[in-house]
Homo-oligomer: A and B are copies of this chain.
């Protein structure tokens, strides 16, 4: 059941946009923004540069689309855990577990695409780095919002520093990302996650 409906006039594209975007995601995830060249991307997609530029506009916009796709697929477990788990504590537990699973998957683990994308970069790419930074901070804010809800619901004490607590678990996840790429064994990563949960605040009263 392919949606075609009134195909436009010109020559049909040979490039499957979704498939090409997934290919770009994989390359950017492994090599980062600067490390994946347009030549690498077009070669992996099996197309020539003009097709890429017609479909995505620029390397920078392609990267942003790849980040969006990551957030909606491999990286969606954070938002889902925050939305679905009944308690903030269980949400954090699931985020830590799934982080380990996703980041350390496969023979050459890739960590988190947001954490390893472009923390340092050339001065001409500061816009890309700033966008990544904004996405990382947004993830912390999302966790904080869940913790704030937990305060209202009585799961966490009103005195809880929800911003710092969210930043703490985000820091652990970011560290898991780096160490997963460094090849640290999965059982060690799992113990890191378990250790982080020891710091969870005592329930109020």
Contacts and interface: CB of A to CB of B under 8 A. Distances in A.
A68 interface: no
A97 B123 CA distance: 30
Interface string A168-182: 101111111011011
Contacts of A183: 133, 137
A205 interface: no
Given A168-B195, A191-B161, A123 B174 contact: no
A168 B196 contact: yes
A164 interface: yes
A93 interface: no
Nearest to A174: B175
A167 interface: yes
Chain A facing B: main interface SS:
helix
A182 B120 contact: no
A191 B164 contact: yes
Interface stretch (A1-9, A11-19, A27-35, A75-83): A27-35
Contact of A117 (B31, B120, B179): B120
What bracket does the count of chain A residues touching chain B fall in? Answer: 35 or more
A37 B34 CA distance: 13
Given A171-B179, A173-B175, A195-B164, A119 B121 contact: no
A188 B35 CA distance: 32
Nearest to A122: B35
A10 B83 CA distance: 71
Contact of A164 (B118, B164, B188, B199): B188
Q: Which 5 A-B pairs have the closest CB atoms?
A: A171-B175, A32-B120, A164-B191, A174-B175, A198-B199
